[in-house]
Amino acid sequence: MTYCLAMLLNEGVVCLSDTRTNAGLDNISKFRKSFTWEVPGERAIVLMTAGNLAITQAVMGLLQENIENPQPGIETLFSATSMYRVAEIVGDAMRVVQGRDGPALAQMGESSTASIIVAGQRAGGRPRLFHIYAAGNFVEATADSPYFQIGEHKYGKPIIDRVITVETPLKTAVTAALLSMDSTLRSNLSVGMPLDLTVIRTDEFRISEARRIENDDPSFDALSKGWSAALRRSFDEMDALWN
């Protein structure tokens, strides 16, 4: 399981993912689920993955292989003319991998379900955010629905629902993302540290911030403890309102 969250704001894009994968209670590992590509001043792209690890790793590998060994007629993340085209390229890669590996996994009784969040901005366009499904099709975030979650999202969703709009300042969105993740970490053991935080500011056309948050990160620990204390204080206030 995993938890990945991406938010599309007027000020930019915020992406956060955990790193835990497991295949049973006694087989827990850490794998990066957030991947970035950039041409500073021209484009910045973030992909986050959830689902069958072999499928998502194969998709990431295929995308990188096409960049490193470009073939005539094959567009890459670096040659795509828009973020919409980037989403199509990722969807096409998903179809290739699913078509190759999906039937064999099904025969073994294994699921090939996977999903990918695509976020970023290319020069000449606005920041955009997409959710790619296992079939390679996708949907795009809008002002009405400015965020996507994949993986174990239910524990962290209420915070985002109450706080995030496209007008939310970038710094506030980062805080909301971290608190959403903290709520998920506390309620589900299949989501775990460390975390990968990525920020792209509008019209910077680069990865503005890329931070690995470890178990002993003092800022995250203070945020977690502060949120718990704030909730306890708020609960006491709400308790007094009920007659």
Is 243 a residue whose pLDDT tops 70? no
pTM for the full model?
A: 0.95
174 assigned to some structural domain = yes
Q: Is 157 left (phi over 0), alpha (psi -120 to 50) or beta?
A: alpha
The residue type of 220 is F
Q: 86-128, pLDDT tens digit by residue?
A: 999 999 999 999 999 999 999 999 999 999 999 999 999 999 9
170 assigned to some structural domain = yes
Band of residue 42 on the pLDDT scale cut at 50, 70, 90: very high
How far is Cα 9 from Cα 12, in angstroms, rounded to an integer?
A: 5
Q: Is 164 helix (H, G, I), strand (E, B) or coil?
A: coil
Tokens encoding 50? 């959830």
Tokens encoding 112? 């090939």
198 assigned to some structural domain = yes
Tokens encoding 201? 């500011």
The residue type of 127 is P
224 assigned to some structural domain = no
Band of residue 147 on the pLDDT scale cut at 50, 70, 90: very high
Is 24 a residue whose pLDDT tops 60? no
Is 51 a residue whose pLDDT tops 90? yes
228 assigned to some structural domain = no
Give the CATH number for residue 32.
Answer: 3.60.20.10
196 assigned to some structural domain = yes
Number of folded domains in the chain? Answer: 1
**170: Cβ contacts below 8 Å, ≥ 6 apart:** 9, 11, 12, 14, 199, 201
**96: Cβ contacts below 8 Å, ≥ 6 apart:** 62
**56: Cβ contacts below 8 Å, ≥ 6 apart:** 33, 49, 50, 114, 116
Token look-up 């993986």 returns 151
How far is Cα 174 from Cα 120, in angstroms, rounded to an integer?
A: 16
70 assigned to some structural domain = yes
- Mean pLDDT on 220-233: 95
How far is Cα 173 from Cα 176, in angstroms, rounded to an integer?
A: 5
241 assigned to some structural domain = no
| Arithmetic mean of pLDDT over the chain | 95
Structural domain containing residue 107: 3-216
